[in-house]
Structures are given as structure tokens and as C-alpha cells.
Structure 1
């Protein structure tokens, strides 16, 4: 399933998650850009029946090993929704494939379901979830979904069974449903105070659910058919009086053996418990609290090199990095960002107490701090490349737009990006997966997206722009 917009990105200019398509609304026209990184870039325009639109969402095709790029692209679709109608567009060529009309007033959300042939509609007040099949024209109904966002439900990788949290009365429920038919596989009353979300493991073997932080550390692990397997309540020997609970969870990617080996549990106290999926117990704990005399290698600090706002990374001592990192006022409130590299060997985190620092942990063998990058402004995003150990870092800045890049073997880089300046400083970044150029990425302001890559010339790093998409033009 594919969210059309990144954090803070506007409706009228949105990218697919893989970065291969860009769409926006111009007047009464839907404008789609494809082949955005090539000389043969294509722009298609189709008329929208009803405006304004509330949302645009792309379907996400799981690429088959035997399918060509063209075959995968032909399956991609775009969903547009307003208060009364949902339109599903095929992309090649851009035209309406199907419509769902006469929506009930106040619908909370609409999105693709298990694939591009299903549409989900969450009704007002979370009374029900309707699943519309575009192949059969039939609908399935699941009553009282707890949430209308992706923490509340998820599809099993590959086989596409649905797991969903329900809240019919006082207790939380987990139900698992068959793919396509949505027949009930299992129903479990949860021993939670207020379940905050669920996530499938990328290998499809496990479902993890975490409870509200006030309940203390409580992560429930279920088998793929919804049977209880483990409850994780925190490291043994820790005084429960100091247990501030769970902030969020994240699974490591499936390895070459097809297994997700780690469940990372981010705590409100700023620690991260790493659970091995063999037992879901005996965690390794990562701490963002360092003593000023604690020595770590590969610590980098952002330094401005000109009055114009150009910057670079310089290596610094860990004591210098820790002392210059502004501590937030009040108690710590957990990890803002927690994301694994494509192979699960690196973990990047941003902690609330030092929002300007990206911590990069090596998970090979005994987990250790591999590097840290200290910035002048708070970090907004970190994004791992989908197939190589490269990390893009995006900070909140209302000065010159710039991108920060890190890789294990190289000196980290900072490059200015030629994009329209945004006073809020809230830019977005996204890798372009599956492109011919290995390290293409998008950098976005609310009005403009630019795609390109970093190059080094005569020792200076530059952003090489290949294409720009603006909501105010069709260029």
C-alpha cells in the first residue's frame, strides 16, 4: 500500500513511494509525470469530474521476478477521492479504470487494499471498513475498525491476508481475514489497555501489536494466523516503576534467507530494545545517553563554510558532539525516527532529546554505535536507499535547501539543492527506486519536486538535477 504524499507534502503535488511517478492537479486536470529521470519523460493530462480532491494514492505493485518493468508499470494505478466519488485511474494511458460513487458523508479515508484491484473505504466515526473489489464488483464489510490509518491494519507480505485492529466496545480485538474473500480466519480479544497499532514482519511470519505507553512495556507477538505467541514486557531485572512504556516498533527487513531477524522496540525513555525473532526475549538495549568522556569514532559535525549557507561535515570528537547537542527541556519522550537499512545491518535513529543528531548503529555481531552526525537544525527525515547502504538526511531549515548524504565507507557530504525556497523549512526527500542511475532521489518543497543525484567535481559536491516538476507548470 502506497501513501501518495510524504510528511507535510501537499495534495496537489505527490510522488509514488518508489519515486517513479509524480502527479498533481492543475485546474480541472489531473497531470501525471512518468519516466521522470529520462530524456523521454512523459506528461499526461486527464479531466477530473469533480473537484476539489481530498486525496491521491498510488497502488504499489509487488514486482514479480519474471515480470518486466513495463509489465509492472502497466499494473500501477492511481486513486483520486473527494467527498462523493472515488476514481481509479490506470496510468498507461492515463484514463479512468473504475469509479465508486455515492460515498456516505464523512468518510475518513480511501486507499488501495491488497492490490490495485481492491479499494478500502473507512466510514465516518470508524463504524465500518468497506472493501470494494474492482474485479467482481462486490464489497466486503468489517465493522468497527479502530483506526483509519496504516497503524490499524496491514496486509501479509506476498499472500495478502488482512490483519486489523477493531474496537467494538471496551476491548481491543485482532482479527485476521483471508485474502480476497475476507472470511474470518481468527479473532482474538487483546489484553491491552489501548492498542496503538500493528505491524506485519516483512517475512510474513509474525504480527506485532504495541500497547499505550502508560501500560508500561507491552508488545504482543502473534503468528500469521492470529494465534498468541509471546508477550514482551521489557528486559528482566528492570524496576517496573521506571518503565515509561513503548513509543513505536519496527521490524528489520527480510534477509537473503527470507527472515526478519529483529524487532526493534522504541521506548519512551529513549532506549531501543532489539528482540531477536527466534525467541522475542533477552533484548540488546541501545541507549542514546552518552557520557561526555565516552569516546566514539566516526562522529561528524555540520559546519557552515560561507555566509551564503554552504556547509560541510567535519570529523569531531565525541565529547565535542555530545556537548554541542541541545538537550530538550523536560523528560525524554522516546525516539522520533527509527529505520533499518535494506539489509538490516544498520539502524538509523533520531532521539527527542537531541533532535539534531542522527545516530547510526551497526547490528552485525554485538550492536555498536557506528557513526553519528550532528546538525545545526532538527532532523526532519532519514531515508535509506532501497538496495545499497546509503542514507539521505533532511533537516528543517528555512535557509538554503540542502541534502545530507552518508555511507559507511565514505566521507559524508552536504550539497545545496536548486529548488524553490520554503519559509517553513519543511522539505521532503525520497529515493527513486528501480531507476537506471543507482542513486537518484527526489527533493521536494510544497511547490516543486526536483530529481537528481550527487556528483563530486574538483573536490566539491554538487546536486545534478535531471528533471523538475512544479504544481504551477507542466515542465
Structure 2
């Protein structure tokens, strides 16, 4: 996450992708928190050279089961990039005299590579901290994560370019970034690319105005398939693609499904053997009440306490207002860690979480209807547990779902955000594998859900405020 901060700004914490590190900047103080859910938690403080910071990023964890000891932290201002070693929080390297107007700065394939996207998308610079050398790729189409990506394991680099009128896809060797292939895309306005988690495929999707158009390339850039939607659908009613998502590479180390989220709210599921549509999911409440469990959020007190109650399709439908204006379409799609479930949110009913079972014939397993829009969904990294983060204008709460238990709504003992917007992130590899972050702009708490006397409570392990670790102890039910 990016954070803009300065003297007197509220706490804005940046989390590592595994949740085991967090950092924020207060004036020129750089504060690093490690092992937040452990009794051996640590707080390191170092002096940063800049007071106004544009970007803060952790180097990614490539293998979440074996975190690298070379984890690093990138802190970028308009004129300088500082790279810090996380062990003891020591300055490792600096890149100075940046051109003004930098669009994005982040780590490359490795901890010793820095990507810098220059103003007006003129070029992307790759800086090697090992050699001190830099290389360039001209005319990147985007500076965000949908415009480029690294192949899992082997780290070949794919990027969308827009040098003139045509979209280009180029693929480059790791480290040297020498060209492997250059493809002129048959797209009107390519919107992004994604590698499959098994590294076999690259998917590129076109603008919604072009109708459904997803290009499937092999890892070396050869066009394998062009998907234009189910054959039985009238193209005149095709509103195009909103987003795509690959299923994870499971025990067989293959990504079996490519989910195509459409502007009309449907989701086409493509089996990766043929990349033809096997099933289309529609965000419609079932007429057969026995086919899916529908849960409706309801408030149980004037203080904002809430719970889930089982509901009928008709009552859930009446509680779910249609979206009155653009943009329409699938807003969130996220697979469970084993790829057997898919959780989705559609902007037509932005307060509903739809959970689909993909074992055998795909079917709606459950739907959870809320009072407010759903902001975020987070599957547990190894088990079938889903955290649901909805905008809450009352007390800060987290919603939890599992296929084997009743869903619950639990208050979190943190400062109430006036906007009602919070963030959640699971911790990976911590001593408590059910721990997660729950964050507002002013405070981040780490904890887990526990059950005592048939009541579920949020047990706080640690809290981070602008003063460091501390805050709460105990739990709130």
C-alpha cells in the first residue's frame, strides 16, 4: 500500500504481504514492527532523510512457507529512494536525483531490483542494487500492478506497452531484461495482464467496449486462445470484461480455472485445458431455498451489535438495493487457497457476498447480505475461512464465514473510523495461524476470534498506534 505522510499526519501503517512486518513514518522517524502476534514482538526506529514520503513498500515474500532473511523495505520520496534492510533496520542502498513526477516505485523480481515508472509513462527504469546498473523499457502502458507481472518461480517479466497506436506485450528474461518476445496485440485498449499461478499462461483482457475479449498466451508469448464469450450468447448484449482472476495452483501445481468477471454481472468460468466456458455464474438469489444458505445481517441493539440470521431469498432480495448508476459489473472475485470456492461481490448489489462451491458442478453455496457495501474479502491462506470487511458506520466489526460453522459478526476493540472504512489482512506463518490485522487510519490491532460460553470474541494480541505497540488488552464480544 502507498502512504503519504508528514509531520502531524495520522498513523498510516504499511503491511508486508504476509502481515509479519508493519511500518509507518512519523516526521523523520521510520518505525518498523516485527512479529506482531508474538511475545517476541519488536519495534525498531531509524532516521529517514525525508519528511514527506510518497511510497512505502516491503519486498514481497516469494515462498510464504520460508520467508527470506533478505527482506527489505523501500521508502520513496519525489527525489530519493531509500532501501532498508529489515534486520536491525539498517540503510542498505539509496537512489538519488529522481526525475520529478514519478508515477510508481516498487521492488522488482528480487529484493535487489527496484522498478521506477517515470512521468507520463515515458519509460520504466530497472535499477540493480547488486551491480549499480540500470536498464530501461520505454512506453509502459500502466504503472500499476495490472500492467506488468513476473512469472511465478522463474521470474520472466511481462509488460504491456503503448508506444504509439497499438498495444504491445513484451516478455523479458530475468535480471538482464533482454527481450524474449514482442507481440502486437489485436486489442482496442488492453486493460491488464495476469500470469497464471502455475506460470504456464498470460491472460490479457480488452476494454469492455470491445465486448468479451481475453487473449491467452503461452509463457513465451505465443497466442494460444482468444476467448470471446459463451457461444450461445448474443454478441449485441455483450457488455465486456470488468476483471479476471486465476484459481491458485493447488497440489497438482496447475491453475484449473480462469474466472472472467463481466460488466453485466455474470462470471464465466473457463477450464484451462481448453479455455472454453464450462459454466456461467449469475448473481441471482436462488428460487430453491434449499440450494444455498442465505444469511442476513441484523442489528440486535442500539449500540450497533449485530449478528447473522438465516433468511429467505425474497427477504434478502428486498434488502439488496440495485445499483442506480455506473460502473456496473463484478467488483470482487477471490478464490479460496485450495481453489474449491470462489467469493464474489457484484456492484448491482454491493452489500452481498456470494460464495460459490466449485467442486463438481459449480453452485451457489451461501450468500451473506449486509446493511452496508462490502469493502474487502480475505480468504485465510491455508484454510476455508473468509473475513468479510464491510463499511461500518457504527462500531468497528469484522464478519467471519466458514462452510462448517455459522457465520459471525464480532466487534473489534479499536478506534471508530468516521468514514466507516477499515482494512483486514491475515498473518502468514505467525505463531497463531488464525491471527489477522484489523486497521483504521488511527490504529491497527492484531488478534484472532475465540469462542467462550457460546460467544465469539476478538482477542487482542497487540495494537499499533502512533506511539508504538500498546493500546488494548483483553477482548470484546
* Contact 1:5/1:15 (<8 A) preserved: no
1:44-64 Cα offsets, whole Å, 9 max, x none, are 000001221101000013128
Compute the displacement of 1:306 (Å): 1.2
1:13/1:23 contact within 8 Å kept: yes
3-state SS of 1:282 partner: strand
Q: Tell me what 2:313 maps to.
A: 318
The equivalent position to 1:457 in structure 2, one of 452, 457, 464, is 452
Question: Are 1:242 and 2:204 matched, yes or no?
Answer: no
Q: Please state how far the C-alpha of 1:332 moved relative to its aligned partner.
A: 7.4
TM-score normalised by the chain length of structure 2: 0.95
Moved more, 164-173 or 55-64: 55-64
C-alpha change, 1:202 and 1:101, in structure 2 (3 Å) is same
CA distance in 1, matches of 2:3, 2:77: 16
Structure-2 separation of matches of 1:390 and 1:350: 17
Q: Is the 8 A contact 2:11 2:466 kept in 1?
A: no
Could you list the per-position Cα deviations for residues 412-468 of structure 1 after superposition, in whole angstroms to 9, with x for gaps in the alignment?
Answer: 111100001111001011101111212100000011100000011111111000000
Cα deviation for residue 323 of structure 1 reads 2.5
| 1:25–1:471 Cα contact (<8 Å) kept | no
- How far apart in 1 are the matches of 2:195 and 2:166? 21
CA separation in 1, counterparts of 2:174 and 2:278?
34
Q: How far apart in 2 are the matches of 1:278 and 1:162?
A: 24
Can you list the C-alpha shifts for 1:1-23, whole angstroms capped at 9, x where unaligned? xx4679xx988321112110110
1:304 CA displacement: 1.0
Question: Structure 1's 428 and 443: CA in aligned 2 closer, same or farther, altered over 3 A?
Answer: same
Q: CA deviation at 1:290?
A: 3.5
Residues 1:440 and 1:474: Cα distance change in structure 2 (over 3 Å) = closer
* 1:389-413 Cα deviation digits (max 9, x unpaired): 0000011112100000000000111
* Structure 2 match to 1:22: 22
Is the partner of 1:308 in helix, strand or coil? coil
Distance in 1 of aligned mates of 2:3 and 2:20: 13
Deviation at 1:107, TM superposition (A): 1.0
Q: Aligned to 1:391, which of 386, 389, 393?
A: 386
Pair 1:264 & 2:259 matched:
yes
Moved over 6 A (4+): none
Match of 2:138 among 114, 139, 143: 143
Number of residue pairs the alignment of both structures matches: 466
User: 1: CA distance between counterparts of 2:326 and 2:131?
Assistant: 54
Within 2, Cα distance between the matches of 1:428 and 1:188?
A: 39
Question: 1:307, CA displacement in angstroms?
Answer: 1.2
Q: Which residue of 1 aligns with 2:420?
A: 425
Name the residue aligned to 1:54.
54
Counterparts of 1:265 and 1:409, CA distance in 2: 28
Give the equivalent residue in structure 1 for 2:32.
32
Q: Deviations over 1:122-162 (max 9, x none)?
A: 01101000000111111110000000000000000010000
Which residue is 1:209 aligned to? 204
Q: Give 5+ residue unaligned stretches, structure 2.
A: 471-477
Matched, 1:436 2:431: yes
* Distance change >3 Å, CA 454–CA 27, structure 1 → 2: same
Counterpart among 82, 90, 95 of residue 87 in structure 1: 82
After superposition, give the CA deviation of every residue in 1:327-366 in whole Å (9 maximum; x if it has no partner): 2225771111100000100000011111111000000000
- Which of residues 348, 351, 356 is equivalent to 1:353? 348
Deviation at 1:319, TM superposition (A): 2.3
Greater mean deviation of Cα atoms: 290-299 or 301-310: 290-299
Are the equivalent residues in 1 in contact too, given 2:293–2:367 (CA < 8 A)? yes
Q: CA RMSD in A?
A: 1.7
User: Which residue is equivalent to 1:277?
Assistant: 272
1:61, 1:75 within 8 Å by CA — same for their partners in 2?
A: no
Contact 1:118 1:133 in 2 (8 A): yes
Q: Counterpart in 1 of 2:122?
A: 127
Residues 338 and 349, structure 1, Cα contact 8 Å, conserved in 2: yes
Question: Does the Cα contact within 8 Å between 1:151 and 1:199 map onto a contact in 2?
Answer: yes
Q: Deviations over 1:292-335 (max 9, x none)?
A: 67653311111111111111111112222122211222577111
In 1, are the aligned partners of 2:340 and 2:359 still within 8 Å (CA)?
A: yes
Correspondence for 1:468:
463
When normalised by structure 1's length, the TM-score is 0.95
Match of residue 309 from structure 1: 304
Aligned residue for 1:45? Answer: 45
Question: Is the 8 Å Cα contact of residues 241 and 263 (structure 2) preserved in structure 1?
Answer: yes
Contact 1:4 1:57 in 2 (8 A): yes
- CA distance in 1 between partners of 2:128 and 2:272 (Å): 35
Match for residue 473 of structure 2? none
CA contact (8 A) 2:18 2:61 kept: no
| Distance (Å, rounded) in 2 between the aligned partners of 1:371 and 1:465 | 29
Judge conservation of contact 2:146–2:193 (CA < 8 Å) in 1: yes
Instruction: Identify which range, 229-238 or 12-21, moves more after superposition.
Output: 12-21
Secondary structure of the 1:421 match is coil
SS in 1 for 2:209: helix
Asked whether the equivalents of residues 158 and 172 of structure 2 are also in contact (C-alpha less than 8 Å), the reply is yes
